[in-house]
Amino acid sequence: MDGSVRGSSGQAGMGGVLRDWNGRVVCLFSFFVGSMDSNAAEVMVIHKAIKICSSSSFLSGQVVSIVSDSQVAVSWIHNEDFGSLDQVSQISFIRSQLKSQEGLQVVYVPRMFNSLADSLAKMGSGACGDFLHWM
């Protein structure tokens, strides 16, 4: 998953790809999230990804790795400091889900591995219409 913010306008979007253990795409999503900075967009997309995964009976009892290319957002989730007060409720939700759902994790992976999620996030930041599609 990825967050994207358009230049000085601050129009933000989020996008993500859910894959199974074999790398097959199971779900795609893209959403417009309003005006915010890039760190807020990254936290928001982690929050959304957890909600999407939690709503799926397909994923019940499965190991789920939420992969982000934002070291800042991942560090806010795993450490006591979490940046802006605007993200308190989202980070608290994420932390509580990580504690209560065995097999759920949020990890950092460098940007080069998320080109499809990046494209979906950019589409969301352009307010092209929200979508969530299960394969």
What are the start-end ranges of the H helices in 55-126? 71-78, 88-100, 115-125
Taking residues 13-28, what's their average pLDDT? 85
Cα Dmax for the chain: 42
Domain spanning 2-134: CATH 3.30.420.10: yes
Region of residue 14 (phi > 0: left; psi between -120 and 50: alpha; otherwise: beta):
beta
Per residue in 75-108, pLDDT (tens digit) is 999 987 766 777 889 999 999 999 998 888 999 9
Q: Which residue has the higher pLDDT, 122 or 16?
A: 16
How buried is 76 (Cβ within 10 angstroms: 0-12 exposed, 13-18 middle, 19+ buried)?
A: buried
Hey, where are the domains in the chain?
A: 2-134
Average predicted confidence (pLDDT) for the chain: 84
CA dihedral 120, 121, 126, 130 (to 10 degrees): 70
pLDDT score of 78: 92
pLDDT band at 8 (very low <50, low <70, confident <90, very high): low
